[in-house]
Amino acid sequence: MNARTTLPRRGGLERRIRRKGWLFILPATLIIAAVSFYPMVEAFLLSLQSGKGNALKWAGFSNYERLFRDKAFLAALYNTFFYLIIQVPIMLTLALVLASMLNDKTLKGKGIYRTMIFLPCATSLVSCAIVFKQLFSANGFFNSILFQLDLIKEPLPFLTQAVWARFIIIITMLWRWTGYNMVFYLAGLQTIDSQVYEAARIDGASVTQQFFRITAPLLKPVILLTTVLSTNGTLQLFDEIRNMTNGGDPANGTLTLSAYIYRLTFLNVPTFGYASAVAYVIFILVAVLAFIQLKVGESK
């Protein structure tokens, strides 16, 4: 018998394997479609309707046109990018530096340091926001210390002036999320062979040169991952704003897009169509920025 007729065709075998693979991923695909893609489609259709409460009517893209005239939306967009541009680079740089320091095999007690830095991630966002709100309130810890040192005559407006409040929110986010990203970098550093650093030291490379020539390039996939995740999280910032500045005070000075959606949906008379349009702005921003970051990461 000819061997060619006894062996199964390669193409037929690959098709059977592919069909079985689809059967394995089909349940997860259906669940994702039901709980993610279907609501996305419904939200987009809802964004094309206007009205308050349940009295909705078809309005086309009028909600999206309204965005450009809405001062509250523009303020929320500005504040969101303010947090994104300042907080994310500082947080990721600090996390990478801390991970590099705590990856030193000669460091004593590094387990305790790692736990202490990661511990804020174990606290709930609401608890974290409330604690920092108390620390920076008019009669809080920091104003009390400044009074005792005779550095101020009246309480500093940490949470009642927009500029101060934005930076206090950024400090809160740094405290909460730096350890989270540090764990990613620490896991990546432990996959790098220590002989690479030993060879660099023999060649006379300084610690700074090792960091920029070895650590950063080899951690590029992890850095890209944390950048995308941090960007996504910052664009959806809500808990800190809601609990520290009552959802955007003073005068929308700390308002974010997610907090504005909450206001449109639950605090005022519900305008579900317009709130859905704002939500789709977040969706588009997340998609576009993630795409840009991935392309930049690939090109480098």
Which tokens in the block code for residue 254?
Answer: 């700390």
d(CA 282, CA 233): 11
CA torsion angle for 240, 246, 249, 255 (degrees, to 10)? Answer: 50
Long-range pairs of 248-253 with CB within 8 A, sequence gap ≥ 24: 248/76, 249/160, 249/165, 250/160, 250/161, 250/162, 250/165, 251/162, 252/71, 252/72, 252/75, 252/76, 252/79, 253/75, 253/79, 253/161, 253/162, 253/163, 253/165, 253/166
- Residue 243 tokens read as 């609990």
The stretches in the chain having pLDDT less than 70 are: 1-11, 299-300
Q: What is the pLDDT of residue 288?
A: 92
What is the C-alpha separation between 40 and 65, in angstroms, rounded?
20
Tokens for 120, please give them. 């804020």
Looking at residue 18, what is its pLDDT? 82
| pLDDT attached to residue 299 | 62
pLDDT of residue 1: 47
Q: Give me the pLDDT at residue 146, please.
A: 92
